[in-house]
Amino acid sequence: MELTSYVNIAIIDSIIMKNNRHQPLKLLGAAFLLLSTKTAFCHDYPEYMGQYSNIEKSQASSDCNGAKINIWSIGNHVIGTFMLADGSCDSLELPIYNATLEKGKFHFESPGSSESIKGNFIFDGSIEKNAILGRLFQRHANGDLTEISNVTLPKKK
Amino acid sequence: MSDGIPTVTIVGTPDSGFTFDGGSSFGQMNDGFYGESVQSDGRFDHLKQERLFFFNEIADAGGDPSDMGGPGLFFPTTEAKTVHVASSPGLNVTFDSANADNAITQSMATAFAQAMKTDGDIATVNISATTNGHIPLSNHGVGDALDINYINGTHIAQGGAGYAVALKLENAAKADPNVRYVEGPAGNFVRTAGPGSSWTSAPDMGKSELTHVHFEVFAKK
C-alpha cells in the first residue's frame, strides 16, 4: 500500500472518531478509503497496448505505404508514436499528443510528416479488439482540415 | 521472397514468348494460361496471381513484362547521382527532413522540373523520398525515382483536395516522355515500350492506401 493510502486511512480514522455517532458518514469514509486505495494501486508506469499497422511495400515502386501506431497507457492517459508511410520506408515515428481513449473512441494528434510544412495530423476513430479504425486528417496552419485517408490498422501479434 | 513481396522470375523475349518461375505451376504467359498460384502452405497467393495477370496483359500487348520493374527487377543506370532538387523561381521545394535531400540523377531532376513546369499551379512541393528509405538496388536507390507527399501545402490523399493535387501531378509526370512509371492515388501507370510509348494502367497491387505520388524515369543505358 502506498503512502497516499496510509494518509487517507489516517484522515478517515480521524473523521470517524469525531463523528462516531453518524453511521452514514462512516460509510462515506469507508467508500472514500476504497476509492483512494484503488487509485493508489493504479499503475503509473507505461503499459504497452500494442502496435497497429498496415504498412506494406508497393510491389512496383518498392515504396512504403500505410500507417503505424504504437500506444501505451499510463493510468488514464495514452501515449504513443505514429508513422505515416508516404513513400519512404524510414519515415520518422512521431510522438502523439492530445490523445484520448474513452469507451473505445480514440483521438490523437501528431506533427505532420514534413518538418517544413506547418500544421499537424489529427486522428479520430476507435480501438476495436483487433484493429484501430478511423480517419486521418491534415490540419493546416490556418486551421482548415482536409482528410487524408480512412485507415484500418490491424493489431500486430 | 523478401518483405512478403512475391518474387517472379521472367524468362523470354517478346518473340519467343515469356515463361516465369514463381515456385508454382505457372504456364506460358502470353497464351492466356497462367496456372495455379498456390503457396507452400496451400493458401492461394492473390498478390502473386494479380502480378502475373498484369505481366500476362503486358505480354499480350506485345510489351516486355520484365520492364515492369519492382523489387528485384530494378533498372541499373549508367548515370551518377549528381543533382540535388532545389527551389527555383516560383517553386519552393522542401523535404520531410534533411535525410531526404539526397542527390539524384540528372534525368530524374529534369523530369521533376518538367512536371513542375507542365503543371503551372504548383507553388510548393515536399519530397518524402529520393534515395532514402529504399534499398540501394532499386530505382530509388540509383537516383531514378522521387516520392512527393505534399503539394501546395496539402498532403496527397485518397479524396478531396489531396486527391485533386495528386491527379494533377500524376498527369504532369505522365506528360514527360522520359517518365517510365507513375504511382499514386489517381492510379498506377507504366510505359513498357520505351520513352514516349503509350501508358498502360498498372493494377493496384497493395492493400494500403497511397498518400504520395511516385514517379521514375527510364534508366540510361
CB B161 within 8 A of CB B154: yes
| Mean local confidence (pLDDT), B98-120 | 95
Cβ contact A115–B97 (<8 Å):
yes
Least Cα separation, residue B139 to chain A (angstroms)? 8
Q: Is the pLDDT of residue B93 over 60?
A: yes
Residue ranges per structural domain of chain B: 9-68, 92-217
First to last CA, chain A: 34
Q: Which of B51, B100, B188 sits opposite A88 (nearest CB)?
A: B100
Provide the mean pLDDT of chain B: 80
Looking at per-residue confidence, does B187 or B32 come out higher? Answer: B187
- Nearest CB among A60, A91, A118 relative to B70 is that of A60
Q: Kindly state the helix (H) or strand (E) to which residue B151 belongs, with its residue range.
A: strand B145-151
Determine the residue of chain B that is closest to A139 in CA distance. Answer: B154
Q: Do B169 and B152 touch, CB atoms closer than 8 A?
A: no
Among the ranges A68-82, B36-50, B70-84, which has the highest mean pLDDT value? A68-82
Q: In chain A, which residue's Cα lies nearest the Cα of B136? A: A62
Q: ipTM exceeding 0.90? A: no
Confidence tier at B19 by pLDDT (50, 70, 90): low
Question: Cβ of B15: how many Cβ atoms within 10 Å?
Answer: 5
| H and E: helices and strands count for chain A | 2, 10
Domain ranges of chain A: 3-41, 47-154
Q: Report CB contact under 8 Å: B148, A62.
A: no
**In whole angstroms, what is the distance from residue A94 CA to residue A69 CA?**
9
Task: Compute the distance between CA of residue B176 and CA of residue B25 in angstroms, rounded to an integer.
Answer: 39
Tell whether B48 lies on the interface with A, counting CB pairs under 8 A: no
pTM of the model: 0.76
What superfamily in CATH does domain A47-154 come from?
Answer: Avidin-like (2.40.128.30)
DSSP B211: -
What is the least distance, in Å, from the CA of A153 to any CA of chain B? 10
Per-residue pLDDT 10s for chain A (157 aa) are 444 444 444 444 544 445 455 555 555 555 555 544 444 455 689 999 999 999 998 878 889 999 999 999 998 899 999 999 999 999 999 999 999 999 999 999 999 999 999 999 999 999 999 999 999 999 999 999 999 999 999 999 7
Which of B131, B110, B87 has the alpha carbon at shortest distance from B173? Answer: B110
